[in-house]
Structure 1
Amino acid sequence: MNYRHAFHAGNHADVLKHVTLLALCDALAAKPAPLFALDTHAGRGLYALDGNSAQRSGEAEGGVSRLLAEAPKHPAIARYLAAVKACRLEHGPATYPGSPWLLAHALREDDRIAACELLPEEAAQLKVNFARDPRVAVHARDGYAAMKALLPPTLLKAGGSAMKFARGLVLIDPPYEAQLEEFDHIIGALRQTLSRWPNASYAVWYPIKRRRSLQPFFRRAATLPVKASFVAELMVHPDDSPLRMNGSGLLLLNPPWQFGQGLGAVLPLLAKALGEAGASSRLEWLKQES
């Protein structure tokens, strides 16, 4: 696998993913019971937007940098930008937080996070970045295998007693180097995990290149045994543009109550702020809770 997220950190896809991730954490943390979060493809957790990789791609300029310069007024966007600024106060003015950092920032002292990364160099840096946070366990392993091994989660407390987490969040954000094969892995892993941890919320990020290639994935996702599911998409280029990636989306399974309504109000604002002429957004339910 050759994918390095440092080239894409802070781009429009990260904005969509991370605005949604923080909103999910806040909604889940509104209830007092402790949470467990699994990040299956965590990367290194922190990225330097003044580094060679980010500077070569320039993708952050059309994402987080544009929002920092002029952001639409919405609580979810303000929450995201406040988290980015908090990260920069701690780690430097050109730093961008990856999903494991945002999870650690948003979740509470009694919550637990497992961050998985397969690439040795990225996993090593991830361990360094979270060495002082006892809530975060870093696993240098395949994220799909971790879903089978770590879920449902159990915390061993002092004295050897075990505490099960009834609620939590799984973020699946793979590199999609082989897109059709990746979708097979995702659906298979979700079917297995939902049978063991059915009450958790799941968020799956996906790129949008050719719209028709996504339809089989949506059809299979609609058959998963969940209470509710929807897709939320941000297109920064027209849907039929010949560019490599016109936008991205998130498949959300078992979202918190009324979460879709709140996210649906944010998506058009992001499309207007980050997109070119012809940009759009979409929120479509695959299964609504009865």
Structure 2
Amino acid sequence: MNYRHAFHAGNFADCAKHALVVALLRGLLAKDKPFAVLDTHAGTGGYDLSAPEPQRTGEWRDGIGRVAASDDPVLADYLAQVRAEGFPGRYPGSPALIHRLLRPGDRLMLCELHPEDAATLKARFRGDPQVAVHRRDAWEALTALTPFPERRGLVLIDPPFEQDGEFERLAASLAVLRHRFRAAVVAAWYPVKHRAPVRAFHAALREAEVADCLACELTLREPTDPTRLNGCGLLVANAPFGFELEARRILDALLARLSRGEDGEAATVTRVTVER
């Protein structure tokens, strides 16, 4: 309840997550059938980079502030959406990026538990028939709002990782979700501070037989300090055709802009569990 994403908007982890989410949506858009998206930790939908919170941390300067200068065509789609939402003055959250790419028959469901952020989110999308905003617990929403009537779509899970047990909760939720809604593309963000929790998370997915999982990770330094965000990952289950190769290209392009030559820098896409 205390987490406010405004302090971290546009940082390197946002760039990785959002560039990959745009690629996932393009995969869904390749078919004519309507789809729905559930964003479980939606935030406010967009952030003023001149506001006190992002100015206090300055994280966006070493994130989107550097990535926006890229002329790599693999990042062009993501950067076009970011600029269309007001960058350099503003940085979009995932609700804004997703909403931009919806077609008339598609739907977006947004969950946010923080009362002020939920109110801001509701005001942003008030009167939009394609968007439903819920002030509710994200983990409860995963079962309450799935499967979608459209029978296809994206579930984006982006926990703040403020509390102990978040990796375990995420693994358990992925197991349930993949069982009840196998057709969904599922994307779950996670921090890479040090390797042990991430290894345990991936092992839990294998133990639960959560099929067809890719780990898309970007690390900017050796992940040995558990007090720092040294990298991040997006666990993607049931990825659209061609996404694995596209994810590799996206992460390589991001690392080219974000690199400071530190030990442990890496952009990787690895298969955590096999297809079934």
- 1:156 aligned residue: none
- Judge conservation of contact 1:5–1:43 (CA < 8 Å) in 2: yes
Equivalent in the alignment of 1:289: 275
* Corresponding residue for residue 85 of structure 1: 83
Which deviates the most, 275-284 or 238-247? Answer: 238-247
The TM-score with structure 2 as length reference comes to 0.94
1:276 deviates by 1.6
1:215 deviation in Å?
A: 1.1
Counterpart amino acid of residue 167 in structure 1: R
* Map of 1:189 onto structure 2: 173
CA contact (8 A) 2:175 2:205 kept: no
Aligned equivalent of 2:27 = 27
- Whole-Å separation in 1 of the counterparts to 2:122 and 2:273: 38
Is 1:134 aligned with 2:129?
A: yes
Where 1:37 maps in the other structure, the secondary structure is: strand
d(CA) in 1 for partners of 2:81, 2:249? 20
Amino acid at match of 1:64: I
Matches within 5 A, 1:41-80: 41-68=41-68, 70-75=69-74, 77-80=75-78
Structure 2: which amino acid aligns with 1:58? G
Distance 1:280 1:186 in 2: 24
Give the secondary structure class of the aligned counterpart of 2:85.
Answer: helix
Which of 82, 105, 118 does residue 123 from structure 1 map onto? 118
For residues 206-257 of structure 1, the C-alpha deviation after alignment (integer angstroms, 9 at most, x for no partner) is: 0111112211101112345555211011112233357611110110100011
Percentage of identical aligned residues: 42
Structure 1, unpaired ranges of 5+? 154-163
What is the SS of the residue equivalent to 2:190?
Answer: strand
Looking at structure 2, the residues matched to 120 and 44 of structure 1 have their Cα atoms a distance apart, in angstroms, of 10
1:165 and 1:149 map into 2 onto residues whose CA distance is 15
User: What SS is found at the alignment partner of 2:154?
Assistant: strand
Q: Is the partner of 2:17 in helix, strand or coil?
A: helix
Runs of at least 5 residues in structure 2 that lack an aligned partner in the other structure:
none
Q: 2:145 aligns to what?
A: 150
* Separation in 1, partners of 2:208, 2:32: 28
Is 2:102 the partner of 1:107? yes
Tell me how far apart the structure 2 counterparts of residues 165 and 124 of structure 1 sit (CA, whole Å).
27
CA distance in 1, matches of 2:159, 2:24: 19
Find 2:153's aligned residue among 150, 168, 178.
Answer: 168
CA shift at 1:138, angstroms?
0.2
Aligned-pair CA distance for 1:55: 0.2
Q: Which amino acid aligns with 1:43?
A: G
Change (3 A) 1:208 1:256: same
Q: Name 1:158's counterpart in structure 2.
A: none
Paired residue secondary structure (1:102): helix
Contact 1:222/1:229 (CA < 8 Å) preserved in 2?
Answer: no
Return the alpha-carbon distance in structure 1 between the equivalents of residues 188 and 104 of structure 2. 25
Q: Is the 8 A contact 1:237 1:275 kept in 2?
A: no
How many angstroms apart in 2 are the aligned matches of 1:142 and 1:46?
20
Deviations 1:162-182 (A, max 9, x none): xx2111100000100124x11
CA shift, 1:72, in A, is 4.4
How far apart in 1 are the matches of 2:44 and 2:98?
13
> 2:250, 2:208 → 1: CA distance?
26
Question: Cα distance 1:110–1:79, how it changes in 2: closer, same or farther (>3 A)?
Answer: same
What is the correspondence of 1:265-280 to structure 2 with a 5 Å cutoff? 265-278=249-262, 279-280=265-266
How far 1:110 moved relative to its partner? 0.5
Conserved 8 A contact 1:238-1:280: no
Q: How many residues are aligned here?
A: 274
Alpha-carbon distance in 2 for matches of 1:225, 1:137: 32
1:72-114 CA deviation, whole Å, 9 max, x = no partner? Answer: 4133x111110011111xxx75111100111101121101110
| SS across alignment from 1:9 | coil
Greater mean deviation of Cα atoms: 246-255 or 218-227: 218-227
State the match for 2:162 in structure 1: 177
Contact 1:35 1:167 in 2 (8 A): yes
Distance in 1 (alpha carbons) for counterparts of 2:178 and 2:205: 12
> Partner of 2:182: helix, strand, or coil?
coil
| Residues 155, 187 of structure 2: 8 Å contact kept | yes
SS of structure 2 residue aligned to 1:193: helix
Contact 1:40 1:116 in 2 (8 A): yes
